Amino acid sequence: MNINLKRGVIYLCLMMLTSVCITHLIFDARDAVVGVIFTLTALSIPVLTTPGARYNYLIISALLFSAVYTFYCINVFNIFPGIDAVRYYDFLLSNNSLNEILSGAVARMAAMHENGMTEGPGSFFIFGAPVHIFYSLMPTKDPFYIIIFNFIFKLMSIAAMSRLFFNVSSVDFRCVLISLIIVSPTFNYFSSVFGKDIFIFFLTILLALALVDFCKTQGNVVRLFKAVMILMLAGYCFLLRPYSPVTALLYVVFTLEYYRTMKFITLGAFFILMLAAFFKSILLIINWPMIFAFMYMAPNPAQWMNYEGFTLLPALCVIVTVVLLLIRTIKYTTLILDPRLMSSIMCVLIYSAVMTLVGFYAIRTDYTFGSVGDAVFRKQLLIMPLVIFSILLYLRTYASGISDEEN
């Protein structure tokens, strides 16, 4: 077994064991969640920091901020942000065993087939299975325990991202990048509500990591085994969120530095969008650059409604980012447009094209100027690491120090 996979499994088991112990010792669910969050944060410091790195203090500070902000979200915001969250919880309450969930999934697919439709079991069953397994370890089915589930996979995602970006960034750059991802209000908010966003984010990063490892694997038998595992994981990701495997491929192309391939993919995305615009709606071409901009500026700071509730801190972060970018552009007239920066921006551009098409086919009302089909704030989450990566690269004032190989 790969040493990183071993460490990941041990890390996951340790966090699960700690969570189970604390939740059975503290009877109040909300108090137990807070205790688990701060305990897991402390346990994660040696896992997520790099021995000898001079910016480890940034990661430690970010982890503490993340725990505090999650605590704030628990006490201020509704754990059910929308109707889907309520339905996920109702699904959990209505199924008492994994066998019921699997039987229901098979029955749904059979009913769809009888009606002439070919569909999967649905995200309620796909997401409901791991959530049910997790809740079977909890003392009750209190909705607040989902925060522990999300927090565990948030920490697992951070560890996976650190490994994924290992070959394309130096230790110092990676520490800053991981710290900014950890403190991201978007990342922390979605870990404190009842939903599948953090879980699918982890699976997407895990799929990307598995694909990168597969590309470097020698031996036909081992490659065949890994290929089967990757196909199963990709299928599961697809059933949860259909565009997540495509997002994982973008991470792979960026991580393996396939810059020429990235150019062809960008041209292909533009061509497909042009065809869709020609046959469907010219608004697709108009909305694409808007959605690309929203990937960097979501939630929109120009809308006053975003300065209240859970979008307040993300909107303020967008303003700070814009100010920093303006200062960088005005003060230093020379921009460092190296392949990594261009590749990261193209990844976000391609992802925006995918979101444009998803918005067009998913929207239930008339497709209009600026239509996305769903909240950009949520859709931004999967590509957020590359958004932050590209911003950090743009803010550089010198070219060295990005990769360990260059130092």
Looking at the domain assignment, is residue 253 inside a domain?
Answer: no
Looking at the domain assignment, is residue 343 inside a domain?
Answer: yes
Residue 79: pLDDT band with limits 50, 70, 90: very high
Would you state the pLDDT for residue 42? 95
Q: Cβ distance 190 to 121 under 8 Å? A: no
Would you state the pLDDT for residue 115? 65
The amino acid occupying position 371 is S
Looking at the domain assignment, is residue 389 inside a domain?
Answer: yes
Would you state the pLDDT for residue 5? 78
Token pair belonging to 346:
């193209």
- Mean pLDDT, residues 307-324 taken together: 89
User: Tens digit of pLDDT for each residue in 110-126?
Assistant: 776 666 555 556 677 88
Looking at the domain assignment, is residue 285 inside a domain?
Answer: yes
User: Tens digit of pLDDT for each residue in 120-172?
Assistant: 566 778 888 899 999 999 999 999 999 999 999 999 999 999 999 988 888 99
Category of 211 on φ-ψ map: left (φ > 0), alpha (ψ -120 to 50) or beta: alpha
Range of the domain at 382: 258-406
CA distances 286 to 109, 228, 299, 300, Å, are: 37, 40, 19, 18
Looking at the domain assignment, is residue 379 inside a domain?
Answer: yes
Residue 94: pLDDT band with limits 50, 70, 90: confident
- Mean pLDDT, residues 208-227 taken together: 90
The model's pTM: 0.91
DSSP character at residue 142 = -
Would you state the pLDDT for residue 119? 57
SS3 78: coil
Distance between CA atoms of residues 37 and 214, nearest Å = 33
What is the rounded average pLDDT for all residues in the chain?
87
Looking at the domain assignment, is residue 353 inside a domain?
Answer: yes
- Mean pLDDT, residues 25-41 taken together: 94
Looking at the domain assignment, is residue 386 inside a domain?
Answer: yes
Distance between CA atoms of residues 143 and 135, nearest Å = 10
- Residues ≥6 apart with Cβ < 8 Å to 215: 252, 256
- Mean pLDDT, residues 311-325 taken together: 90
User: Tens digit of pLDDT for each residue in 337-374?
Assistant: 888 999 999 999 999 999 888 877 665 545 565 555 45
User: Tens digit of pLDDT for each residue in 322-336?
Assistant: 999 999 888 877 777
- Residues ≥6 apart with Cβ < 8 Å to 12: 152, 156
- Residues ≥6 apart with Cβ < 8 Å to 290: 370
Looking at the domain assignment, is residue 287 inside a domain?
Answer: yes
The yes-or-no verdict on residue 406 having pLDDT over 50 is no
- Residues ≥6 apart with Cβ < 8 Å to 59: 45, 48, 49, 175, 178, 179, 182
The yes-or-no verdict on residue 287 having pLDDT over 90 is no
**Structural domains of the chain, count:** 1
CA distances 383 to 41, 69, 114, 369, 380, Å, are: 24, 22, 38, 23, 6
Say which residue, 284 or 106, is predicted with more confidence: 284
The yes-or-no verdict on residue 272 having pLDDT over 50 is yes
